[in-house]
Structure 1
Amino acid sequence: MFTRIQTFIVALGLVLGLGTSAQATDTVLTLTYNGQTQTFDRPALEALGTETVETTTIWTEGTQVFEGVSLARLAQEIGAEDGRLLATAINDYTVEIPVSDAVENGPILAITMNGEEMSVRDKGPLWVIYPYDANADYRTEVIYSRSIWQLDRIEVVQ
């Protein structure tokens, strides 16, 4: 979500043929909870602390190394102890993830895969990754359906 000034800068840049400003496109995650909205660019998201998950997925070949913010850390940051996370992708596809999934050594919001930031074409900017190889409970259709890619919004609902 842009501020009015960011929206004006983007609009002015487009009118003048300058493209969009870097500031206006820095947001990778918009988080809505308790009637508040918080936006994160990559550095702000990484400042919460990152974890590494090394796992195979049903969408990639071989073992991949993902790095990102744990869902547990994000839930802790906003004080979400129960309810659901409505995780929405760039194309408005939405999945429900119970806050109870936000556990230590659980899913992360992957920012990088094999040390590289993920482009939209490569399932970025964010991809919910569970440590599938670490626990057979993470290798189910339900969990796979929660592994949303091109994530850009999360709304916490009770």
Structure 2
Amino acid sequence: MDDPARLPPATSAPVLEVRGAVSRTNADGAAVFDMEMLKALPRARLDTTTAVTDGIRRFDGFLMRDLLDLVGAQGTTVTARAFNDYAIDIAIEEFDRFDVVVAYEMDGKALVPSDKGPLWIVYPRDQHTELRDIRYDYRWVWQLRWLEIE
């Protein structure tokens, strides 16, 4: 019988690890995801401008809140950390207020590590005037690799 507190194991190279106050794990107290597992989450699409690209771009991925629900996140803060150790704390309630996407594609092409991939946190800045503030631009973590829930 499957354990509802356990996620299935990653079967290929891990691309995201979620640690901290989570109730569903699959590896030593963490939820580790390969790209196939992330692509199994409900798909989300967002068309928006960014502070680092030209024009409106189309992002495909999943909603951060869907990932947090899947791992049973029980905290108030998400620390998002990139491959280069850039890290920022984000209030978990933002993911309920806004449709924040964790993108794995931009304009129909997979995000790659040499260009912001494989995962990029993307805010719906064109849909909410308040998200055009530079303080939110710092939350657009590209080359996302780890999330810590507190």
Residue 106 of structure 1 deviates from its aligned partner by 1.6
- List per-residue Cα deviations over 1:54-97 (Å, max 9, x = no partner): 01111000110001110111121122254111100001111111
Root mean square deviation, CA, Å: 1.8
In structure 2, how many angstroms separate the alpha carbons of the residues matched to 1:50 and 1:104? 18
Residue 44 of structure 1 deviates from its aligned partner by 0.0
Is the contact between residue 53 and residue 65 of structure 1 (CA under 8 Å) also seen in structure 2?
A: yes
Identity of aligned residues (%): 30
Residue 32 (structure 1) aligned with residue 19 (structure 2):
yes
In structure 2, what is the equivalent of residue 114 of structure 1?
107
In structure 2, what is the equivalent of residue 144 of structure 1?
137
In structure 2, how many angstroms separate the alpha carbons of the residues matched to 1:58 and 1:93? 17
In structure 2, what is the equivalent of residue 5 of structure 1?
none
Consecutive unaligned residues of structure 2, counting only runs of 5 or more, are 1-9, 23-28
Is the contact between residue 74 and residue 149 of structure 2 (CA under 8 Å) also seen in structure 1?
A: no
Please report the TM-score for the alignment, with normalisation by the length of structure 2: 0.83
Residue 153 (structure 1) aligned with residue 143 (structure 2):
no
Is the contact between residue 79 and residue 149 of structure 2 (CA under 8 Å) also seen in structure 1?
A: yes
* Equivalent pairs, count: 135
Which protein has the bigger helix share?
1
In structure 2, what is the equivalent of residue 69 of structure 1?
62
Please report the TM-score for the alignment, with normalisation by the length of structure 1: 0.79
Is the contact between residue 127 and residue 150 of structure 1 (CA under 8 Å) also seen in structure 2?
A: yes
State the secondary structure of the residue aligned to 1:74. Answer: helix
Equivalences for residues 1-158 of structure 1 within 5 A: 26-34=13-21, 36-80=29-73, 82-103=75-96, 105-157=98-150
